[in-house]
Each structure stands twice: as structure tokens, then as C-alpha cells.
Homo-oligomer: A and B are copies of this chain.
Amino acid sequence: MSSAVEFAKANGGRFVDELKDLLRIPSVSTAPEHVEDVRKAAEFVASGLRAAGLEGVRLIETSTEPSAAKQGRKGHPLVYAEWLHAEGKPTVLLYGHYDVQPAEPLDEWKSPPFEPTERDGNIYARGAVDDKGQMWMHVKALESLLKTEGKLPVNVRVIVEGEEEVGGEGIAAFVREHGDQLKADAALVSDTEMFAPELPTLCVGLRGMIYTELEVRGAATDLHSGMYGGAAPNPFVALAQIIAKLKDEDGHVSIPDFYDGIEEPTADELKAWKSLPFDEEHYRKTEVGSTELTGEPEFSVLERTWSRPTMDVHGMPGGFVGAGAKTVIPAKALAKISFRLVPGMKPEATFEKYKKYVESIVPKGVTAEVRMIHSGEPIVVSTDNEFIAAAKAAMGEVFGKETVFVRGGGSIPIVGDFVRELGIPTVMMGFGLPDDNLHAPNEKFHLANFHRGIESIILFLDKVGAA
């Protein structure tokens, strides 16, 4: 066992305590009332990197970037650190994010979302696995190497963002405008999950997305439904009519040309997916918990969530949402609607098709406006490079099992930016589990995976350095 791994094992309890301190900071990036908490989390990460022995640690203000200034955007800072003394060795860019999703609905949490609580070998808190816990593994792997070897086996740059949950525009702009400051040979991202407990997994593809708002306006002001019901347009009814026309009852998106140009997974990939330990009925019961699964019946569940695009509605603000009754015809209604995209689809082009289609089906008496909130491109990572090989071997060693390749249904837009702007492959080595309640109440991180993650990253960096 390497001395770095020994150090990580000996200091595991402290690492968890530090993670708890970080989890106590409600760094909800979408909520204006948490803007100071988000900054506090950034500073916590910067201190952690400094304490680990990294150099050049600093916060980078994304709000002062030219593109942010142009958009009038006030962003959350990036945290940067580096260690560049491994002459002749490759440079690895470590990426993570310190921002988290909102914790609502609060009443469904068994312990408070920002008071990390250990139960059954897990740590429960918003951000436990997505992504504070996984990002902290990176910091602790670097610390373990530096504190024991006094150096790293490779050159390292670390970039940690605070806007991943709100579209990551700040880091995207930084990568675009200052890519030279992130020059590396490969990126390591730990923001995905393992296919099953104990099964080492590398994610080699991600869906993209467009997140939109569809606003419908009818009357000029809220009206009494008794007096005007039957003559005044109802924006919620109109929204329902539009949404019902966006997706048919078999889960096919009805927007014309929506599926055009989609790149299918290779026959090899589809074959590998078929051999994964996946029990659809178990998945339905324990992960989804609905009476039936939905979606395109002609595709498998893994295809439906990895390589097929889809549409979801996240909420419909407006009107009367209190307890009891209010007989109002609201003047306007909103729907938060997103589409997941797969390779071959472009966010802008998909948005245009969607917008054009909505405009063609606007019901009588209302006007509709479609707004893009944020977007990310779908990507597929090449698997034939030394970095994927090192990651596959590292995880396989730690877990004692062959590492599998999967895709992810979610979006990590930065991975696309790394490919496009920096021209480097990304290793997505994640340690979450399918039941970690990502973005939901009772988010958790399996503590054994936190420790195995640190060990895997140490081995990965060692292997890349030794190659």
C-alpha cells in the first residue's frame, strides 16, 4: 500500500469532519438569498487546497469576465489551484463544483439538509454526493500525496466552480477566454455515479440539455372565474394544451424534426449495456417507485435515459397555490420545461425547433413566450487513451472488479467545454450510487465510497505519472 493511501486511511475521520463543515454551508447557487453562502463555500475550498499544499490558490471572479459583464451577469467565483513541478509528466485538470441544488421540499428531509447526519454508513446532506463530497475526495487525494511524498506524480491544476447547478456560464466563459490558464492533457471529473454498488464505473457519455421557461399570458389582470369563466382565456389550460402536444402518451417528443441527426450508440456499446446488471423491475420499485415506468417503449430503460432525448416539466409557477380555494383566472402561467439532448443534437437548434413548434400551437386567446434559461451540449468521450486506461485500472484495483463503461443521463456541460475548448479527454470517475437522491430530499453519499474514491484518485494519478 502506498504511503499516500495509508495517510488517507489514517486521516479518513478528519476528512469526513471537514466535509461536514463544508456541507453545513448552504451554497445554493440558484438562490439570490444564498449568494454569501456560495462565496463562503468557495473560500472553504480555497483554504482546503492551500492546506493540502497546492500552490497559486485563488478565487477567480466570473462576474468580472468580459462576457459576464456584457450579459450583466453577477456570477459565483471559481476556485483555482495548481502544482506544476512534475517535469516531463502529463498535466491533469481536476474539476468539481461546490454549489448545490435547492433543498426544497424541506419537509421531506429526515434530517436537516444543511446539518450533515450519518446514518447506516452514509452521510446525509444536500450536496453530500453532488458534488461537495466527490470534489473533496480530489482535495484529500492531493493532500495525501503531498503530505507523504512531498510531491505529486503528475502536474495538477484544480478548478472548482460554483455555478454547476445553474448552467455553469462562468466557467464556460473562463474556459473559452482563458483556456491557456487551464492547459492540461486530460481532465478528471468526479460528479457521476457507479452503475451499481461495488461496481467500478467510468462514465463515457452524457446527455446535453436545454432548460427553458414557457410563459403564457391571457387576460390583462387576474379575473374572477365566476364572472369571466367561459369567456376569458385560462393560461393554465392553455399551457396544459401546449404541454400535452409536446410529448405523446408513449413518451415521444412531438416537436417536428426533434430526433433528426441523432447519433445512435454503437452496436458494441449497446451489447455492453445489455450485459450490465440491470433489473428493470428492481429499478422501477426501488429507484423510481412509480406504478409503471414511462417513455419510448421501443427502447430499453438504459437507452431511454442515456442515449434518447426527452422532455420534462419541473414546475408550473403562477396562479393560486395556497391551501384552500381561490376562484381566480390568473393573467399568466409559467412552465419550467427542459429537454435532454443526445449526441447529434445541438442546444440552439433544438431550442429553435421547440420555439417554432410552440408558436405554431399557441391556443386561442393567449400569447406564449419561450425563454432559454441555460443549455449544455451532449458529449461522448473517447475511451482509447492512457487516462481512461489508468482510471479503469485504478478503480478496478480499489474495488477488486472489472471497471464498466456507462453513459450518464444528466448534463455536465463543462465536459463538453473541456473537449471543445481545451481539446482534452475527460475521465468521469464517479463514486455516487443510484439511490443517492441526487437533487432530491435526503441526498446522501456512501462513506465507504468517499474513502474508496480518495484511494482511486491517488492510484489514478500514480498510474498516469508512471505511464
- A278 to B409 Cα, complex, angstroms: 56
Interface 9-residue window, one of A38-46, A256-264, A365-373 = A365-373
Stretch from A18-26, A181-189, A291-299, A453-461 that touches the partner: A291-299
- A314 and B310 contacting across the interface, CB-CB below 8 Å: no
Given A240-B244, A291-B366, A312-B234: A227 and B102 interface contact (C-beta under 8 Å) = no
**Interface hit among A117-125, A265-273, A329-337, A389-397:** A329-337
Question: Are A441 and B243 interface neighbours, CB within 8 A?
Answer: no
Query: Interface residue tally of chain A, by bracket?
Result: 35 or more
Known contacts being A30-B325, A314-B326, is A338 close to B231, with CB within 8 Å? no
A16 adjacent to chain B (CB < 8 Å): no
Within 8 Å of chain B (Cβ to Cβ): is A97?
A: no
- Does A282 reach chain B (CB closer than 8 Å)? no
A438 at the interface (CB under 8 A from B): yes
**Which residues A343-369 have CB closer than 8 A to chain B?**
363-367
Contact check, A207 vs B233: say whether CB atoms are below 8 A apart. no
Interface residue? A304 (CB, 8 A): yes
Let me know if B219 and A291 touch, CB within 8 A: no
B290 engages A220 (CB within 8 Å): yes
- The CA of A244 and the CA of B222, in the complex, are separated in Å by 21
Kindly state whether residue A229 has any CB partner on chain B within 8 Å. Answer: yes
12 A/B residue pairs, CB under 8 Å, sorted by A: A31-B322, A219-B289, A228-B288, A228-B409, A233-B288, A233-B293, A236-B243, A236-B316, A240-B241, A240-B313, A244-B244, A315-B320
| A249 partner residues in chain B, CB cutoff 8 A | 241, 363-364
Q: Contact: A336 with B314, CB < 8 Å?
A: no
Return A118 CB to nearest CB of chain B, in Å: 20
**Identical copies of this chain, number:** 2
Q: Is A232 interfacial (CB-CB < 8 Å)?
A: yes
Q: In the complex where A108-B221, A230-B251, A310-B229 touch, is A326 in contact with B293 (Cβ < 8 A)? A: no
Q: A440 to B221, Cβ gap below 8 A?
A: yes
Q: Are B320 and A102 in touch, CB under 8 angstroms?
A: yes
Is A211 part of the binding interface, using a Cβ–Cβ cutoff of 8 Å? yes
State A225–B409 Cα separation when bound (angstroms). 8
Q: Taking the nearest CB of chain B, how far is it from the CB of A104, in angstroms? A: 7
B231 close to A326 (CB less than 8 A): no
